[in-house]
Amino acid sequence: MNQKKSTPARGWYLRRKLPHFDAPGTIQHLVLHVFDPARCRLESMGPKSTLPYKQSQPDKVCLTDPPEIAEIVKEALLFGDPARYFLLEWAIMPTHVHILIQQRQNWSLGNVVQGWKRHTTKCIKALLGRDLLPQWGNQIIVWQPDYWDRYIRSDSDLYRVRQYILENPVKAGLVTKPTDWPWSSANTGWRS
């Protein structure tokens, strides 16, 4: 995954009307959404499958259908750890991704997120083909243009956010326990 070295951190700034905070050493909870979150819906995939989410329309992206898309996103997240950021927790959901990272020196948050989006869009395009992805003009659209970030303010905040990310697939009704979801840090062995 090619990514240029980032510019220095910017502190507080606005991008597309959303406030962002960018500083080395900061622990951030990020949420990236697919371009149209309504594109996935719950439907049965049959008795042999344990993953209840399926793409609702053939021309829309769902991050867990086919499963190769979730693997692309997972590999992109793992790629930058620990050189560009410290990856603490993550969960890939059908319509969004939760990521908890600690920022590193010389890698701005915006450049890290841009790298994830650029690389995964390129790989998803190669997997599904251009005709099966939403387009805006000549551009392939997989992700919403901005992202949500919230810096962690205390140890109790860190604990709460970690639990929230790990429990997200359970709360969504996808699995009964966090370790059953194949696309999250709760699934054992992701650090090995």
Domain range list for the chain: 24-177
SS3 149: strand
Which CATH class, in words, describes the domain spanning 24-177?
alpha beta
Q: List residues bridging with 92 in a β-sheet.
A: 97
Q: By C-alpha distance, which of 88, 98, 84, 105 is closest to 24? A: 105
Mean pLDDT value across the chain: 81
- In tens, the pLDDT along 143-186 reads 988 889 999 999 999 999 999 999 999 999 999 999 999 999 99
What mean pLDDT comes out for the span 45-72? 64
- Residue type at 181? W
Q: By C-alpha distance, which of 91, 46, 30 is closest to 64? A: 91
Q: State what percent of residues in the chain have pLDDT above 70.
A: 73
